[in-house]
Structure 1
């Protein structure tokens, strides 16, 4: 029992689920006949695992992939937050993810304004990686405005918006946000 506690939640632990915990304990040199069942039961009783577990609330449906032609061709933009205030006073994260390489660019923001978004796209995407072909955003005010339209027109790329009905359909940006929030926990 002490081996399970140590491998799951103490100094060696990473709060891994039952089968992974089993392999970890086995690699530590322990074995008993009901080891797999005991590991699964132990994890089910862990309050932190139950609180931070990834629960899927949507039924499965067919995927509709966005297939970019080359690296830095298509980007997804998303705002994460509000988060707990940092020492610099930042409470939002503006993240952009490339659909081909899964490369992420992100900055911390005190407030989300259209000027911040346009400057981020220009400085962190266009000037670093070249002009993109299209960008996918939700329908928020920082993304759908005259300044953004002017930037799209100036550099000759298109902006696609995720549907109003399901704004979380912004492709890879949403899984990155989930990963980022889990890391911040």
Structure 2
């Protein structure tokens, strides 16, 4: 599509209207430039002018989205075959607990197939984690190559270190400054909590 080339005066009339006019959405500089080009206008320094308007807008600075960039380059966790890498985490404490007094859920998710294993627990200690790894993962799917978890005390103990060393497992901990490094386990935890809320809501309606 042919674009109409604007002079400086016309450009200064177009930018505020596109940015905060009747149909303006207070878009950032790059999106504002693309919108102006779709409307059929162009001038040589339109990107610079759009960025300047977006940065000088008070509403955009106050209500703009805060981006949390990690201090270092992220390295995505890529599994090459099923049951090679697992992400594990603890859900809870759950209030109210189950009828058997379970306050926590210990869960692990496979990075390749997204298969999840979970057990309820009254408390989470190193021996519970070891029993879970043996019964739910090693005996069923074989010894994993890598396990990712957070820095909870149940995951950092002498028993865990001996188990990992004996089976040659590469156990990695997500940093306390960026807990989303164990994002797959966190995503499953969120899904699990939503399922439990829905199920408990149905049970409460049936009891009522």
TM-score with structure 2 length normalisation? 0.58
Moved over 2 A (4+): 57-65
Are 1:65 and 2:90 matched, yes or no?
Answer: no
Q: Match for 1:77 among 77, 88, 98?
A: 88
Contact 1:95–1:107 (CA under 8 A) maintained in structure 2? yes
1:115 pairs with 2:127: yes
Structure 1 position 167, deviation (Å): 2.2
Give the corresponding residue for 1:42. Answer: none
Matched residue pairs, number? 129
Structure having the higher helix fraction is: 2
Contact 1:78 1:174 in 2 (8 A): yes
Q: CA deviation at 1:155?
A: 1.1
Query: After the TM superposition, which residues 29-178 of structure 1 pair with which residues of structure 2 at under 5 Å, given as runs?
Result: 59=67, 64-83=75-94, 84-178=96-190
Contact 1:139-1:167 at 8 Å conserved across structures: no
Secondary structure at the counterpart of residue 183 of structure 2? coil
Gaps of 5+ in 2: 1-64, 198-208
Higher relative contact order (CA 8 A, sep 6+): 1
3-state SS in 2 of match to 1:160: strand
Q: Structure 1 residues 164, 155: CA separation in 2 closer, same or farther (over 3 Å shift)?
A: same
What is the rounded CA distance, in whole Å, between the counterparts of 2:118 and 2:88 in structure 1? Answer: 10
Partner of 1:35: none
Flag structure 1 segments of 5+ consecutive residues without an equivalent. Answer: 1-56
Q: Which shows bigger deviation, 103-112 or 64-73?
A: 64-73
Distance 2:174 2:168 in 1: 20
**Residues 128, 164 of structure 1: CA spacing in aligned structure 2 closer, same or farther, 3 A cutoff?**
same
Per-residue CA deviations over 1:33-61 (Å, capped at 9, x if unaligned) read xxxxxxxxxxxxxxxxxxxxxxxx97476
CA RMSD of aligned residues (A): 1.9
Query: 8 Å contact 1:73–1:100 — kept in the other structure?
Result: yes
CA distance in 1, matches of 2:104, 2:147: 20
Q: How does 1:11-30 map to 2 (within 5 A)?
A: none
Change (3 A) 1:153 1:64: closer
